[in-house]
Amino acid sequence: MLDSFGLGDVLHRSPADLSGGMAQRVAIARAFVFNPMVFLMDEPFSALDELTRERLRYELLTHVEGARKTVVFVTHSVTEAVLMSDRICVMGAQAKAICADIAVHLPRPRLEGVELSDAFRDLQRTVRAALRSSSAGHDG
């Protein structure tokens, strides 16, 4: 499994010797070993630099699509939400209710560069509008 995440050469390393991106890929690979029906991921890339984050998004997409798995993915990144999702649920400011349920009809597999498409940018605008609407009248 580590080979499939590009980590076959780190088998001999201790966790302390791994970069943040490597450690995150190990954690995701470990989850795949157990072959769950549903993955619950809460901000899995939030501590990573933008380039590593972008690379890992596509690596995760490739593995999830190949394994045909369901992922519940929590993120504060609009780009990440649109890229990773078939459906985006926008939570209200107090996270007590779903304020918007947005279908994402981008083709699969999601290939690098999809973020440059008009459809992707339109979805980003839709999600941002839903976020603004859900937080209207709240202090954040």
Q: Is residue 122 part of a domain?
A: yes
Total number of domains constituting the chain: 1
DSSP per position, 64-120 = HHHHT-EEEEE-S-HHHHHHH-SEEEEEPTTSSSEEEEEE----SSPPTTGGGSHHH
Q: Is residue 28 part of a domain?
A: yes
What is the Cα–Cα distance from 91 to 88, expressed in whole angstroms? Answer: 10
Q: Please give the model's pTM, rounded to 2 decimal places.
A: 0.82
Q: What is the pLDDT of residue 140?
A: 47
Q: Is residue 72 part of a domain?
A: yes
Go through the chain and tell me how many residues it has.
140
Q: Is residue 26 part of a domain?
A: yes
Domain hosting residue 20, numbered range: 3-135
Q: List the CATH number of the domain containing 129.
A: 3.40.50.300
Q: Is residue 140 part of a domain?
A: no
pLDDT averages per 10-residue partition of the chain, 140 residues? 79 85 83 88 86 85 87 93 96 82 95 94 97 70
List, as own/partner pairs, every contact residues 49-53 make where C-beta atoms lie below 8 angstroms and the sequence separation is at least 24, other chains included: 49/20, 49/21, 52/19, 52/20, 52/21, 53/80
Q: Is residue 123 part of a domain?
A: yes
Task: Estimate the crossing angle of helix 20-33 against helix 50-67, to 10 degrees.
Answer: 10
Q: Is residue 61 part of a domain?
A: yes
Q: Is residue 34 part of a domain?
A: yes
Is residue 62 classed exposed, middle or buried when 0-12, 13-18 and 19+ CB atoms within 10 A define those classes?
Answer: middle
Q: What is the pLDDT of residue 108?
A: 92
Q: How far apart are the first and last CA of the chain?
A: 41
Task: Decide: 21 and 79 in contact? Cβ < 8 Å.
Answer: no
